Structure 1
C-alpha cells in the first residue's frame, strides 16, 4: 500500500522541534518540491533541519536547510 499522507517536521540547531504548518502532501515528489521552495522561510522561523514522514513513518532526515556552500 502506498503512503497517502506526506508531512515534514522541523528541528532547530539544538535538535528541538520547531512548529510547522501541518501541511500534508499527496506524494513524496510534491513534498520534496515544496521543501525546495519553502526552505528559506523555514530557516527564518528557526528551522535548521527537516524530516520527511509518510503516514507517520519516518522516510528520511535530518535534511539540512542551510544553503550549500
Structure 2
C-alpha cells in the first residue's frame, strides 16, 4: 500500500497564486541576494506584501537592502521605496 496522493490543498502555491513580490535593491539599484526567510517571498495580494515589508524592513536593512520595488507578476507597481529616512 503506497502513500495516497497529497490533496491539492497541500501543494505549494505557484507564482500565479501569489503574484506579488518585492525586488530588493541596494543604494545603487542593484538587486541584493538574500537567504533564509527573507528570500523568495511571494504574496497573494498587495496588502500582504506591504505588511510583510513593514515587519521585516529592519532585517532587510541589516543585510544590505536599501530600497524595495513592488511587483505584481512582471508589472512594477511602485518603487524603489527607501527603507530608511537617511
2:19 paired residue number: 5
Say whether residues 1:19 and 2:19 are aligned partners. no
The 3-state SS of whatever aligns with 1:18 is coil
Q: Which has the higher contact order (CA 8 A, sep 6+)?
A: 1
Cα distance in 2 for partners of 1:58, 1:64 equals: 16
Select 1:37's aligned residue among 33, 47, 55.
55
Cα distance in structure 2, aligned partners of 1:12 and 1:18: 6
Tell me the C-alpha RMSD between the 2 structures: 1.7
Instruction: Give distance in 2, aligned partners of 1:4 and 1:57.
Output: 14
Gaps spanning 5+ residues in structure 2: where?
Answer: 1-16
Normalized against structure 1, the TM-score is what? 0.86
Unpaired runs of 5+ residues, structure 1, are none
Q: Which stretches of structure 1, 4 residues or longer, exceed 3 Å deviation after superposition?
A: none
1:19 positional shift: 1.6
**SS at 1:16's partner residue?**
coil
Matched with 1:52 is 70
Q: Higher strand fraction: Structure 1 or Structure 2?
A: 1
